[in-house]
């Protein structure tokens, strides 16, 4: 459970109160400046017409000119203005103020001289000193108020912390009390190897004397490496729960601020708090946010991120051998981390958390299904084998989508068909309710039937799970293949047959319609990428040889180089291009031959798709068996 805040919710609106108070104070200054600027005296502001009338009547004794403003005195007091609905008549005025129009020329000065009026001229200095002070002060009052408000809002958005103007450097790490753990290794399905690796850490935090008595040193830093959603954060919390120690959790991005030095200050404060509550665990999620290679790319060497990284390195070096503090960090990009982070003495132990196998997936599904009402026929083993490559987060989403599907259909329990629909939605997207022409449906049906038939005919291919021409996501149709077991190696024979299956949809269109369409765009892209890896990375071309040129690898910008330098000549690039093309051309020819020999089966599969829109594995095999007149051969799998 997170540590409770020391400040009530009512104080979170204090920033707005400060701003309102400052605005009211500025308004007071404005009104006060206006009142002071008017000054005392028995004067009236008169219109220019009244001024002309008094001038013609010779009732003006003296005048002072200040720009367009005219002030003066009457020879005889004048009853100026009219009484309001609730006021008495104002008294007579001895002085006046008016303003000359912009078109008024110098001839009015001749009129003043003709009547013997005393004329004084003063420079136009604008407002009074008090009013100038108000105008100078008011913007600064508003700027300071808005700045204070922004700072308070930033602090609240980043998890609270102590309110105040000078608390930027305090750590934003959340403290979880693991004395009464809510998550332990029992709550983590699968990941047996990772849990075994972390057991030493748990034992050290529980009984450090057992290790120090013989001089053993437990790693100070543990780096969890794995794809997103594989359970790195959950595993770190479970480690703290097993050890029963305080658990500080923070995302690395929360260290970096727009103010220089704030990140380093927060690192120092976080380690200070951890030392005060030791033994404890510090968990830094997405450490690549601050742990990237220093002085690389276009970032320079003195930015806030690198200062934060330097402070983190310094703090990890500052551990005493007897300090029971373990730093656990998680990342899915270990290739971009600074080497100084990965050396022994900092993150000593690297634990790789890969995507779960089907047995682990079954355990994860059972964990997420504990609080859900399942029908008796739900087979978690079958679901687990049908979800290769899914992470723990994907499986949690799959179970939730199945529950939502059951609710929409008004069921009281989650059935196997709900899981099938949920898997289709997760993998391919939701159904698209769009109208397509009959020609488009026929093209899609033959395209998907081609994939299915060639896959069935070839050995060393993944079994068919479902063929559909129901539009989902960005695709108008799909042929799903589910491997019988998780693959870690890909033989050349398997990859070549996979190229044939990918190009079979386009081959079926060409055979039936004597034309090709843009529907094979994704198939061609995948086939080209696979052939490029076979030639340039996996050494599966006799002419190119067993050399890895790095071509075809994914190279996101990792801060080292703006562009990736080629490690091969132009002649070698030309040779690789020819070998890639040859692989694809040969695969397409093989698909053409298989479809030509099985034209009748292709027609039957397409007709069934046009009628039912979706065929399961059993439906596909029944059509193939009926059209060929023989029992389907047992597929050979690796």
- pLDDT of amino acid 487: 74
Answer whether residue 86 is part of any domain: no
- Is pLDDT at 495 greater than 90 in this prediction? yes
Answer whether residue 371 is part of any domain: yes
- Mean pLDDT on 172-183: 58
Confidence of residue 195 (pLDDT cuts 50, 70, 90): confident
Answer whether residue 221 is part of any domain: yes
In this structure, the answer to whether residues 591 and 490 fall within a common structural domain is: yes
- pLDDT of amino acid 508: 93
What b/e string do you get for 290-318 counting C-beta neighbours within 10 Å, with b at 16 or more?
A: bbbbbebeeeeeeebbbbbbbbbbebbee
Hey, what long-range contacts does 378-383 have (CB within 8 A, 24 or more apart)? 378/414, 378/415, 378/416, 378/419, 379/416, 382/416, 383/419, 383/423
- The domain boundary, picked from 326, 352, 378, lies at 352
- pLDDT of amino acid 181: 56
CB neighbour class for 264 (10 Å; exposed up to 12, middle 13-18, buried from 19) = buried
CATH number, domain containing residue 396: 1.10.8.60
Answer whether residue 633 is part of any domain: no
Higher pLDDT among residues 453 and 192, named by residue: 453
- pLDDT of amino acid 41: 46
Distance of alpha carbon 611 from the chain centroid: 43
Interacting residues of 403 by C-beta distance below 8 A, sequence separation 6+: 372, 414, 418
CATH number, domain containing residue 505: 1.20.58.760
- Is pLDDT at 261 greater than 70 in this prediction? no
Whole-number average pLDDT of the chain: 76
Alpha-carbon torsion (535, 536, 537, 541), positive or negative: positive
In this structure, the answer to whether residues 408 and 467 fall within a common structural domain is: no
Is residue 290 within 8 Å of 247, Cβ to Cβ? no
Answer whether residue 636 is part of any domain: no
Residue 25: C-alpha distances to residues 32, 325, 408, 465, 578 (Å): 10, 51, 58, 73, 79
Torsion, Cα of 467, 499, 493, 637 (10° steps):
-10
Q: How far apart are CA 319 and CA 346, in angstroms?
A: 10
CATH number, domain containing residue 42: 3.30.720.210
In this structure, the answer to whether residues 184 and 286 fall within a common structural domain is: yes
Boundaries of domain holding 128: 1-78+92-167
Alpha-carbon torsion (108, 110, 111, 112), positive or negative: positive
H, E, C per residue of 546-595: CCCCCCCCCCCCCCCCCCCCCCCCHHHHHHHHHHHHHHHHHHHHHHHHHH
- pLDDT of amino acid 285: 84
Ranges 491-505, 514-528, 529-543, 557-571: which has the least confidence = 557-571
- Is pLDDT at 61 greater than 70 in this prediction? yes
Closest CA to 2 of 236, 178, 188: 178
Residue 19: C-alpha distances to residues 12, 23, 368 (Å): 13, 6, 48
In this structure, the answer to whether residues 446 and 591 fall within a common structural domain is: yes
Ranges 143-147, 151-155, 187-191, 214-218: which has the least confidence = 151-155
Higher pLDDT among residues 468 and 1, named by residue: 468
How many CB atoms within 10 Å of residue 71?
A: 18
In this structure, the answer to whether residues 198 and 345 fall within a common structural domain is: yes
- Mean pLDDT on 171-194: 67
Q: Which two tokens stand for residue 406?
A: 């059951």
- pLDDT of amino acid 7: 38
Interacting residues of 100 by C-beta distance below 8 A, sequence separation 6+: 48, 68, 69, 70, 108
Q: How far apart are CA 622 and CA 563, in angstroms?
A: 53
Alpha-carbon torsion (315, 317, 320, 326), positive or negative: positive
In this structure, the answer to whether residues 373 and 471 fall within a common structural domain is: no
Answer whether residue 52 is part of any domain: yes
| CA Rg value for the chain | 40
pLDDT tens for 99-149 read 877 666 666 777 777 777 877 777 665 555 666 666 677 777 777 777 777
Answer whether residue 638 is part of any domain: no
pLDDT tens for 506-527 read 999 999 999 998 888 889 999 9
pLDDT tens for 364-384 read 888 888 888 898 888 888 888
Residue 391: C-alpha distances to residues 155, 161, 178, 230, 487 (Å): 34, 34, 26, 5, 15
CATH number, domain containing residue 233: 3.40.50.300
- Is pLDDT at 580 greater than 90 in this prediction? yes
In this structure, the answer to whether residues 419 and 305 fall within a common structural domain is: no
Answer whether residue 159 is part of any domain: yes
DSSP lists the bridge partners of residue 292 as 337
- pLDDT of amino acid 156: 56
In this structure, the answer to whether residues 367 and 339 fall within a common structural domain is: no
pLDDT tens for 266-314 read 788 788 887 887 778 888 888 888 888 876 544 444 567 777 787 888 8
- Mean pLDDT on 395-414: 89
In this structure, the answer to whether residues 403 and 490 fall within a common structural domain is: no
In this structure, the answer to whether residues 393 and 463 fall within a common structural domain is: no
Name the percent of the chain in helix, strand, coil, to the closest 5. 50, 15, 35
In this structure, the answer to whether residues 346 and 202 fall within a common structural domain is: yes
- pLDDT of amino acid 165: 44
Q: How many separate domains does the chain show?
A: 4
Q: How far apart are CA 290 and CA 312, in angstroms?
A: 9
| Residues marked as catalytic | 448
Q: How far apart are CA 237 and CA 182, in angstroms?
A: 9
In this structure, the answer to whether residues 363 and 346 fall within a common structural domain is: no
Higher pLDDT among residues 172 and 188, named by residue: 188
Q: How far apart are CA 289 and CA 333, in angstroms?
A: 10
3-class state of residue 59 by DSSP:
coil
- pLDDT of amino acid 83: 42
- pLDDT of amino acid 257: 62
Higher pLDDT among residues 89 and 269, named by residue: 269
Higher pLDDT among residues 349 and 407, named by residue: 407
- The domain boundary, picked from 428, 461, 478, lies at 428
- Is pLDDT at 159 greater than 80 in this prediction? no
Q: How far apart are CA 480 and CA 462, in angstroms?
A: 9
Confidence of residue 163 (pLDDT cuts 50, 70, 90): very low
Q: What is the DSSP string of 408-461?
A: HTT-SSB-HHHHHHHHHHHHH-SB------HHHHHHHHHHHHHHHHHHHHSSSS
- The domain boundary, picked from 121, 138, 167, lies at 167
Angle between helix 438-457 and 492-513 (nearest 10): 150
């Amino acid at each position: 459970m997170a540590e409770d805040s020391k400040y009530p919710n009512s104080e979170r609106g204090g920033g707005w109160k400060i701003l309102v108070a400052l605005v009211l104070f500025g308004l007071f200054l404005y009104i006060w400046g206006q009142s002071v600027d008017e000054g005392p005296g028995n004067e009236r502001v008169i219109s220019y017409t009244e001024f002309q009338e008094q001038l013609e009547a010779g009732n003006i004794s003296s005048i002072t000119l200040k720009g367009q403003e005219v002030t003066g005195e009457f020879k005889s007091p004048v009853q100026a203005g009219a009484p309001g609905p609730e006021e008495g008549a104002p008294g007579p005025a001895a002085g006046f103020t008016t303003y000359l129009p912009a078109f008024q020329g110098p001839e009015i000065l001749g009129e003043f001289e003709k009547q013997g009026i005393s004329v004084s001229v003063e420079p136009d200095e604008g407002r009074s000193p008090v009013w100038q002070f108000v105008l100078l002060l008011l913007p600064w009052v508003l700027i300071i108020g808005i700045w204070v408000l922004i700072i308070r809002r930033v602090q609240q958005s980043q998890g609270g912390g102590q309110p105040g103007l000078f608390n930027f450097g305090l750590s934003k790490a959340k403290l979880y009390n693991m004395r009464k753990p809510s998550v332990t290794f029992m709550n983590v399905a699968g990941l047996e190897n990772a849990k075994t690796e972390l057991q030493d850490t748990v034992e050290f935090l529980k009984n450090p004397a057992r290790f120090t008595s013989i001089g053993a040193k437990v790693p100070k830093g543990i780096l969890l490496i794995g794809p997103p959603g594989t359970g790195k954060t959950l595993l770190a919390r479970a480690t703290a729960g097993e050890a029963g120690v305080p658990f500080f959790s923070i995302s690395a991005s929360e260290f970096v601020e727009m103010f220089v030095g704030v990140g380093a200050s927060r690192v120092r404060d976080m380690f200070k708090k951890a030392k005060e509550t030791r033994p404890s665990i510090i968990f830094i999620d997405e450490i690549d946010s601050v742990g990237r290679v220093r002085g690389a790319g276009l970032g320079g060497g003195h930015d806030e991120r690198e200062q934060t990284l330097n402070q983190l390195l310094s703090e990890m070096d500052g551990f005493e051998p007897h300090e029971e503090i373990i730093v656990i960090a998680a990342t899915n990009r270990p290739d971009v981390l600074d080497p100084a982070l990965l050396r022994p003495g900092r993150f000593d132990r690297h634990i790789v958390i890969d995507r779960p196998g089907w047995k682990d997936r079954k355990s994860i599904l059972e964990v997420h299904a504990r609080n859900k009402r399942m029908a008796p026929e739900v087979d978690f083993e079958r679901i687990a084998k049908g979800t290769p490559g899914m992470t723990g987060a994907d499986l949690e989403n799959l179970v939730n989508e199945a529950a939502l599907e059951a609710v929409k259909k008004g069921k009281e329990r989650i059935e196997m068909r709900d899981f099938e629909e949920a898997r289709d939605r997760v993998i391919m997207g939701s159904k698209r309710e769009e109208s397509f022409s009959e020609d488009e449906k026929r093209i899609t049906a033959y395209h998907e039937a081609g994939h299915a038939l060639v896959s069935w005919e070839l050995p060393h291919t993944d079994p068919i799970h479902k063929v559909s021409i129901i539009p989902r996501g960005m695709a108008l149709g799909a042929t799903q293949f589910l491997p019988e077991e998780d693959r870690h190696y890909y033989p050349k024979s398997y990859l070549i047959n996979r190229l044939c299956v990918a190009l079979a949809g386009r081959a079926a269109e060409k055979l039936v319609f004597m034309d090709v369409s843009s529907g094979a765009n994704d198939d061609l892209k995948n086939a080209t990428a696979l052939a490029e890896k076979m030639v340039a990375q996996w050494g599966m071309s006799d002419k190119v040889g067993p050399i890895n040129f790095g071509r075809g690898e994914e190279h996101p910008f990792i801060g080292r180089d703006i562009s990736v330098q080629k490690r091969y000549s132009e002649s070698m690039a030309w040779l690789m291009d020819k070998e890639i093309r040859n692989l694809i051309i040969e695969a397409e020819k093989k698909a053409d031959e298989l479809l030509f020999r099985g034209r009748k089966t292709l027609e039957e599969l397409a007709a069934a798709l046009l009628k039912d829109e979706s065929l399961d594995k059993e439906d596909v095999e029944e059509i193939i068996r009926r059209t060929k007149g023989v029992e389907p051969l047992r597929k050979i799998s690796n």
